[in-house]
Structure 1
Amino acid sequence: MKRPLAREIAQEYASWFRALADPTRVQIVSLLARQGAPMSVGEIVKAVDVGQSTVSSHLKQLAAVRFVLVERRGTASYYRINDACVDCFPTAADIIMARSVPGLPSR
């Protein structure tokens, strides 16, 4: 009988999917990935056309699962995509769906 993913791995992957379960967070991840450079909250607010407090809340959630990284510059915070985490995301989906992933041992 095949076994499910280890609980710890399943919990981590679930947190990633929860983080992307909101269209505004998907927009923010997409924006930062396409921008390729850190952006301030104000720049992100203008791009996604959502209020500053909402964007800040979404950024906090995305940072908690490491989809975005925060750089402090004086009193300002700049956000950038975490390429390593985003690169792992499609692999996580494949693992959950029991698809083989080249180069990874089966779990």
Structure 2
Amino acid sequence: MKNKKVHCAVDYAFQRIGGKYKGRILWVLREGVLRYGELNRAVIGITPKMLTQTLKELEADELIVRKVYLEVPPKVEYSLTDTGKELIPLISHLRSWGEKQMSAN
């Protein structure tokens, strides 16, 4: 994503964090390190295939870090990068706005 030429900062931001699950995954990771299974349980409605794909995209965009432990069974942990952490106040604001809109309907 970083090398793709864009002309609008808003488009760039939404390309990196847009979609159905990216914001939710970032929000869940705000409290710390989680393993794949914990993420799968926390992000309701996501399929394992979609979770894996979305995690790869977030990692490629350097919003999360994937740490693999060489043990049996394999252990993989995910956490926010500093860039990912910068998004949390913005996601929190969007969440508050969404809650307000949902209660008005």
TM-score using structure 1 length: 0.61
Q: Which runs of 5+ in 1 are unaligned?
A: 1-7, 91-107
Q: Could you list the structure 1 runs, at least 4 aligned residues long, displaced by more than 2 angstroms after superposition.
A: 8-11, 13-17, 86-90
Once residues 89 and 9 of structure 1 are traced to their aligned partners in structure 2, the CA distance between those partners, rounded to angstroms, is 20
- Residue by residue over 1:16-61, the C-alpha shift from the partner in whole angstroms, topping out at 9 and shown as x without a partner, is 431211131110001101x22x211111010012121111110000
Q: Is 1:59 aligned to 2:60, yes or no?
A: no
1:73 aligns to what?
A: 69
Match of 1:25 among 22, 40, 49: 22
Alignment size in residue pairs = 79
Q: Bigger radius of gyration, 1 or 2?
A: 1
Once residues 24 and 44 of structure 1 are traced to their aligned partners in structure 2, the CA distance between those partners, rounded to angstroms, is 11
Give SS of 1:23's match: coil
Structure 1 residue 76 displacement after superposition: 2.3
Q: Percent identity?
A: 16
2:99 aligns to what?
A: none
Once residues 16 and 66 of structure 2 are traced to their aligned partners in structure 1, the CA distance between those partners, rounded to angstroms, is 16
RMSD: 2.6
CA 1:40/1:89 → structure 2, altered by over 3 Å: closer, same or farther?
Answer: closer
Match of 2:35 among 25, 40, 62: 40
Once residues 9 and 88 of structure 1 are traced to their aligned partners in structure 2, the CA distance between those partners, rounded to angstroms, is 21
TM-score using structure 2 length: 0.62
CA 1:24/1:89 → structure 2, altered by over 3 Å: closer, same or farther?
Answer: closer
